[in-house]
Amino acid sequence: MNNFGVIEVASQKTKNAPGWAYVPDTGLTPAAAAALQPLNRKRAARDKANVGAPDLTARQDAKIRKDLEALDKDSHRDAQIPIPPKAGGSRGALSSKLYTQKRDHGADMTSAWIAQNKHTPNVRKILQSQKTFANHLDDYHAFLALAESNPQLAAQVNKPTPTTTARNSPAPSTITTASTNKRSSAASKRAAVTAAAAAAAKEEKAGSSKRPKTQPQPKPAPADDDDDGDVEMTPETTEEATAAADPSELLPPRPDTSTPLDDSTTETTETEPPKPQSYPPDGTILPAYARPPPVPHPGDDDPLLVSRVPPFPTDEELRALMTAPPLSYTEARAQWTEEEEGRYPVRRFCEVCGYWGRVKCIKCGARVCALECLEAHREECLVRYGL
Amino acid sequence: MAGGGGGARKSRAAGPVPLTTTLVLDNGADTIKAGFVSDDKSDDKPRIIPNCLARDRHRKIYVGSELEKCKDFSEMAFRRPVEKGFIVNWEAQKEIWDREFFDDKAPNKCNPSETRLILTEQPNSLPSLQTHCDQIVFEEYGFASYYRGVGPVFNAYRDIQSISRTPQVSIDSPAEVILLIDTGYSHTTVTPILQGRPLHPAIRRLDVGGKLMTNYLTRLLSVRHFDMRNEPYIVNEMKEAVCYTSLDFKGDMEKTWKGTRGEKREDYVGGAGIAKDYVLPDSHTRFHGVVRDYEPGVSARARKTIVSTEDVLTLRNERFVVPELLFNPSDIGIRQPGIADLVKQSLLALPIGLWPGLLANIVVVGGNSLSEGFCQRLQTEILKRFPDECRVRVARPEDPITSTWLGAANFAKHEHASRLEVTKQEYEEHGAAWVARKFAAGLGLDS
Ligand SMILES: [Zn+2]
Ligand SMILES: [Zn+2]
């Protein structure tokens, strides 16, 4: 590793250095790549404290962010590939009307051939939508923010009408999600207002359009179902639905059985008449799971290893886990824990050849491995940043 | 890639379709896996359909499986209805579905009003996208019944112990306990599953998938060799052919470093068993890239003069730094844990008593798991993070790309499917929100 072939200079602070510096690989890159990294407030604050870190200039920071955005794209060019006409036109040749739609989410004009007559209003709206995933995610966050700041208005927005059922879909654990929402409150409020306005506009538009015949009339007050984070089936389920689903879903969880490993098949018969083909009833949730726990470990002070005898989860715990609602898209995204924040070595690589980046260009902060790559880099560096 | 069962499908399309027929769709960002399951006759493997509109350099457009007719993939551009793993653009998705499943000449012709649909989705979708999906299924296509379920979970309906290729005639119950890792085009997820139920609080996602890795390889090649930015197809093919997961990253780094100026390091000159030559397609005689053993004796310049018509790249650390992103996303500045820490974070959300069972039953599916060395590296990295006595077993089915479909095909025959499905009539009576709640609630408990 000492076979380096270059002379180390004092530090990057030396103004008259020959243009590079040897840097030991230490710290984290603080604010790297915010594009893919929604930060929570706490972390943002930590990063702010790190801004003075010498390793990463604002320019480099921006470069990483830009690079990650590019890596996230589906294609280098924006591929505007239109739907080609069908040969033969077997299935009702794409008919009639050209919609030119200007979306509220951006300035892009899009036009789509939509066969107007054969779609329900819901379907027509969906097919015309040119929203990206990011647009949908923004909408969702805006709605959560609204629910946080103004639950009543959120309920209004959330009120199901035939053409706004999209907004009536379940938002499991809306409240908790909102409270862990990573956006600053100012931004959320702004977004909430926009969302409310947009939704209001849509509802207005929807009201004037003809209601689809297939759409059921919404239940009187289902909004509370959505807001209390409850994803259990609604009790007014009709006979057919109940037959398909398990009646136990409608019942409160059974009290805990204290003997997790014994089989008490008799219990199930008393609650409900046996269903045809029902799932094999068992008194416990994991009956086959009778293996002895791992033996104690010397390193038990590690929080991961506190398992002197890992307590087997109670049925109650398992029941809660198996019926817990899904997390939101944002909640499921893995983030560095505090511990990992410190432990993760951020490895830096030579931008020219990909080997370890042990030398840093003073001008732009780019890493290279040694002199040969530095020279190659400096040509590019000159072109890009001038002297 | 398409399955060879065309004859069977044709006859099914011609005859009356029994109501018990299920169309099983694993609707991935890169490919759709599709096939039928019914009481008497089922596809033993899915047809694999590119889920895209593609345009070649002569501006000819291919939809879905039409891409099979394309020979020259240079400068191919793609439009994909699935973004971040979820169906976002229904204009494009409907066009592909129509041509593959519903048009008169569709390869998997099906009559929705007599068919049940089982459709996979990625975990943790957005409610609005789920609703769109349900509305299209019932209002546009009018399927007789339908279940939309989390893709990874269907793998619990395979015989994981002896991961077999064909769907079983019947499966008594889903696997007791599985830790399912799905590493696909859009991202990588960890899903703990108990008896066919996903443990939602512990599902975790890493936003690194095949797309990002192909783009990263594209960038490396464009900086070091040729500008490949308009060649996503060719680079992806190259990635699949040459990239591997390093079991000794630092060692492999040393072996592929050229050294300082003027230095000729032995490993570099000899290739150290890592360097490979890759011959790019030329759009005349060669439409796919070719991997060649690196020839140490021949200098780059000499090789160029010998075969001047070939564009040859010598790939060194490009081979292993790309799959490395799954293990160290911070290498390119992504502030997310690598896949092994993803597993750890998932388990930390669960009672410790569940860990041994989950760690001993890790199953990986998805195209990225095909990278050579992936399972071994994953196992090693997970072992490092848990007590020594923990038995860590990482299994990859022999068909990691179609595994979710095969599981869903088994699920279609299981009693759970009829418990979870929603009929068109129920949709019309109760509406989209009710359907979404029912799907989100899942199986619930049995007793
Ligand atoms: Zn270098
Ligand atoms: Zn520079």
What's the rounded Cα separation, in Å, for the pair B332 and B312? Answer: 26
**A179-188, A281-290, B318-327: range with lowest mean pLDDT:** A179-188
Min Cα–Cα distance to chain B from A186, Å: 23
**Would you state the pLDDT for residue B259?**
85
d(CA B317, ligand 1 centre) in Å: 11
Summarize pLDDT for A43-76 with one digit per residue, the tens.
Answer: 444 443 333 344 556 777 788 899 999 999 887 6
Query: How many residues in total does chain A contain?
Result: 387
Min Cα–Cα distance to chain A from B231, Å: 9
The alpha-carbon radius of gyration of chain B (Å, integer) is 23
Q: Which residues from A are below 8 Å from B416, CB to CB?
A: 279
* Residue B318 φ/ψ, nearest 5 degrees: -60, -25
Dihedral of CA B52/B55/B56/B57: which sign?
negative
Interchain proximity A120–B140, CB inside 8 Å: yes
Min Cα–Cα distance to chain A from B305, Å: 24
Summarize pLDDT for A155-168 with one digit per residue, the tens.
Answer: 766 544 443 333 33
Q: How far is CA B284 from CA A322, B177, B191, B308, in A?
A: 57, 52, 46, 15
Residue B284: other Cβ atoms inside 10 A: 8
Q: What share of chain B is helix, strand, coil (3-state, %, to 5)?
A: 40, 20, 40
What's the rounded Cα separation, in Å, for the pair A6 and A326? Answer: 55
**Would you state the pLDDT for residue A158?**
57
Interchain proximity B345–A337, CB inside 8 Å: yes
What's the rounded Cα separation, in Å, for the pair B437 and B242? Answer: 45
Query: What is the number of the ligand closest to the CA of A362?
Result: 2
**Would you state the pLDDT for residue A258?**
33
Write the CB contacts of A18 (distance below 8 Å, at least 6 apart in sequence): A9
Tell me whether B350 touches chain A (CB under 8 Å): yes
One fold for both B22-158+399-441 and B211-324?
A: no
Q: Does the structure show a pLDDT above 90 at A176?
A: no
**Would you state the pLDDT for residue A48?**
39
Tell me whether B63 touches chain A (CB under 8 Å): yes
Q: Does the structure show a pLDDT above 80 at A40?
A: no
- Contact assessment for residue B265 and residue B256, using Cβ atoms and an 8 Å cutoff: no
Dihedral of CA A252/A256/A257/A263: which sign?
positive
What's the rounded Cα separation, in Å, for the pair B75 and B59? Answer: 10
Low-confidence ranges of chain B (pLDDT < 70): 1-19, 160-172, 297-308, 447
C-alpha triplet A352, A354, A359: angle, nearest 5°? 70
Write the CB contacts of B26 (distance below 8 Å, at least 6 apart in sequence): B32, B33, B34, B46, B120, B151, B154, B402, B404, B405, B408
Q: Which residues from A are below 8 Å from B385, CB to CB?
A: 304
Interchain proximity B433–A346, CB inside 8 Å: no
**What integer best gives the mean pLDDT of chain A?**
57
Q: Does the structure show a pLDDT above 60 at A259?
A: no
Q: Within chain A, where are the H helices? A: 41-49, 58-72, 121-128, 133-149, 151-158, 174-179, 185-208, 223-227, 239-244, 266-271, 315-322, 329-332, 338-343, 371-385
**A148-152, A262-266, A329-333, B4-8: range with lowest mean pLDDT:** A262-266
What's the rounded Cα separation, in Å, for the pair B300 and B291? Answer: 16
Tell me whether A213 touches chain B (CB under 8 Å): no
**Tokens in use for B171?**
């499966």
CB pairs < 8 Å spanning A and B: 394
Residue A350 or B302, more confident: A350
Min Cα–Cα distance to chain B from A339, Å: 11
Tell me whether A199 touches chain B (CB under 8 Å): no
| Partner residue facing A323 (CB), from B105, B341, B445 | B445
DSSP type of residue B372: B
Interface test with chain B among A246, A261, A297, A368, by most B beta carbons within 10 Å: A246
ipTM over 0.95: no
**Would you state the pLDDT for residue A16?**
32
Mean pLDDT value across residues A207-225: 37
> Which H or E run includes B440?
helix B432-441
3-state secondary structure of A321: helix
- Contact assessment for residue B323 and residue B216, using Cβ atoms and an 8 Å cutoff: no
Tell me whether A208 touches chain B (CB under 8 Å): no
- Contact assessment for residue B160 and residue B177, using Cβ atoms and an 8 Å cutoff: no
**Would you state the pLDDT for residue A295?**
47
Tell me whether B225 touches chain A (CB under 8 Å): no
DSSP type of residue B99: I
**Would you state the pLDDT for residue A92?**
38
Interface test with chain A among B170, B327, B335, by most A beta carbons within 10 Å: B335
**Would you state the pLDDT for residue A205?**
38
Write the CB contacts of B210 (distance below 8 Å, at least 6 apart in sequence): B30, B183, B184, B185, B186, B236, B239, B367, B368
* Residue B12 φ/ψ, nearest 5 degrees: -65, -40
**Would you state the pLDDT for residue B40?**
81
Q: How far is CA A275 from CA A280, B147, B419, in A?
A: 11, 21, 11
CA-wise closest residue to B249 among A347, A116, A74: A347
Write the CB contacts of B432 (distance below 8 Å, at least 6 apart in sequence): A165, A166, A168, A169, B131, B134, B135
**Would you state the pLDDT for residue A343?**
64
Residue B81 or A27, more confident: B81
Q: Where are the domains of chain B?
A: 22-158+399-441, 211-324
| Partner residue facing B90 (CB), from A127, A139, A299 | A127
Interchain proximity B429–A5, CB inside 8 Å: no
Min Cα–Cα distance to chain B from A56, Å: 12
Q: Where are the domains of chain A?
A: 348-386
Tell me whether B116 touches chain A (CB under 8 Å): no
Tell me whether B164 touches chain A (CB under 8 Å): no
| Partner residue facing A169 (CB), from B61, B352, B436 | B436
**Would you state the pLDDT for residue A80?**
84
Interchain proximity B77–A79, CB inside 8 Å: yes
Query: Between helices A58-72 and B210-224, what is the axis angle to 10°?
Result: 120
Closest chain B residue to A304 measured between Cα atoms? Answer: B386
Fold of B22-158+399-441: Nucleotidyltransferase; domain 5 (3.30.420)
Interchain proximity A234–B437, CB inside 8 Å: yes
Mean pLDDT value across residues A196-224: 38
Q: Which residues from B are below 8 Å from A226, CB to CB?
A: 433
Min Cα–Cα distance to chain B from A175, Å: 15
CATH placement of domain B211-324 = 3.90.640.10
Interchain proximity B335–A32, CB inside 8 Å: yes
**Would you state the pLDDT for residue A57?**
67
How many helices (H) and strands (E) in chain B?
Answer: 18, 20
**Would you state the pLDDT for residue B132?**
97
What's the rounded Cα separation, in Å, for the pair A131 and A142? Answer: 15
Residue linked to tokens 């398409």: B2
Model confidence at A271, pLDDT cuts 50, 70, 90, reads: very low
What's the rounded Cα separation, in Å, for the pair A199 and A205? Answer: 10
Min Cα–Cα distance to chain A from B238, Å: 17
SS3 string, B142-168, reads CCCEEEEEEHHHHHHHCCCCCCCCCCC
- Contact assessment for residue B123 and residue B198, using Cβ atoms and an 8 Å cutoff: yes
CA-wise closest residue to B100 among B211, B185, B232, B6: B6
